[in-house]
Homo-oligomer: A and B are copies of this chain.
């Protein structure tokens, strides 16, 4: 396995997260995700294409190929194992781990990561509930859906939350929404797409669509 620069790895991982099922990722989407400029994205896409990690034709968007996906899963494995370590061993709160893991994930020594995995007891999910790929890059497919797609009056369990910004995580913590929380949608409003939800036996309260988009549940 070759080694990739921190910058290349950040692009590869971002593409992996953005490409859903069969669709392609656009230049602007990726630039927005990485807080960079479209011109920089185009440069990097040419480079990653030359390294045979993705399919890319000018103006047609891009998508990781098999090799690129393997690389992405390696980065995600490192990221999530470090997140687990930070939360479980170093007692970081779960909204702090992502930022630190964003750097640690780029130390790519296979032995280090496999020994870390063993030391942690081969955890299956990170502190946000996302599955951790194993040493061969195999990852559990999770049956999670966004809470916005959950039918009314159906109790589900929060299985993961977006980890993209610590602002969101701070809000979730304040609302006492965390992994494992039992939640039920009581009402949805078309006007602003906000929804009223209930956690356990607490009073019903409202969350914005923006927040709901970042909460994922396991319906069974």
Contact = CB atoms under 8 A, between A and B. Distances in A.
Interface in A83-121: 86, 89-92, 96, 100, 103-104, 107, 109, 111-112, 115-116, 118-119
B115 A92 contact: yes
A100 B109 contact: yes
Interface residues of A, number: 17
Contact of A112 (B100, B107, B111, B112): B100
Nearest to A99: B109
Contact of A103 (B90, B107, B111): B107
A3 to B, nearest CB: 11
B116 A90 contact: yes
A89 B119 CA distance: 7
A109 B116 contact: no
Nearest to A91: B115
Residue of A103, A107, A111, A116 with most partner-chain B CB within 10 A: A107
Nearest to A107: B103
Contacts of A90: 112, 115-116, 118-119
Contacts of A89: 119
A85 to B, nearest CB: 9
A119 B100 CA distance: 16
Contacts of A116: 90
B103 A86 contact: no
Interface of A: 86, 89-92, 96, 100, 103-104, 107, 109, 111-112, 115-116, 118-119
Given A103-B109, A107-B107, 12 more contacts: A86-B112, A89-B119, A90-B115, A91-B115, A92-B111, A92-B115, A96-B111, A100-B109, A100-B111, A103-B107, A104-B104, A104-B107
21 contacts: A86-B112, A89-B119, A90-B112, A90-B115, A90-B116, A90-B118, A90-B119, A91-B115, A91-B119, A92-B111, A92-B115, A96-B111, A100-B107, A100-B109, A100-B111, A100-B112, A103-B107, A103-B109, A104-B104, A104-B107, A107-B107
